[in-house]
Amino acid sequence: MTLEEIQHGQILLVDKPLDWSSFNVVNKIKFKLKIEFKLKKIKVGHAGTLDPRATGLLIVCTGKATKQISEIQDAPKEYFVEIKLGVQTESYDTEKPEILHQDISHITGENVQEILQKFIGEIDQKPPVFSALKIDGERAYNLARAGIQVEMKNRKITIYYIDNVEIEFPFVRFSVGCSKGTYIRTLAHDIGQKLGVGAYLTTLRRTKIGNFSVENSTDKYLQNDFLFDEDI
């Protein structure tokens, strides 16, 4: 990859590791590009935030390709999901400790399959308070962590499909295709509420954004010894 190619615009498919924020990924790539090519500035941005506790496909654009970010962000997404039934967390994922344990011995695989099907189509979804959405100019997660009561508003999202369902109580795993703006943590929480036993998200991996697949991504861009002018 030459300097000219990077400035003209590259779409980098990054396999984001666990506990990296999307912001940190962009900063790391920008820093590496500046050092390697002795640049004072270079445009770098990502096309859709992935939570630190999630892994998988994060699209990073350089140079003139940053103009494509909004178009890529609007594309449908696909995720591999694992949820745990019979328990909840404040954050709807593994960031916060488990609370509200409930017995799930009466729940059957049939119950789970039936409830999952009810989420397919256009639905109202309330984003989690532990999210990057802004409330009066402040990130919701900052307000939540400060103990401030946050009221999140419902919004319309679309679940296109839920398939490859595996049930191994208390865990349920599946693939989900969804529209822009869908919070899988909220989906996990809402599935638990519909089942009447609670649930939270234990694993989230983004596998597709539009026609881009995690199978073609790499985490090498983030490695200290990786050079962009060498082939991957």
Catalytic residues: 51
3-state secondary structure of 148: coil
Report how far residue 135's alpha carbon sits from residue 143's, in angstroms, rounded to the nearest whole number: 9
Give bridge partners of residue 157 from the DSSP assignment: 123
Q: For residue 163, count other CB atoms closer than 10 A to its CB.
A: 10
Strands (E), the chain: 11-16, 44-46, 55-62, 77-85, 121-125, 134-135, 138-139, 155-168, 171-178, 199-209, 212-213
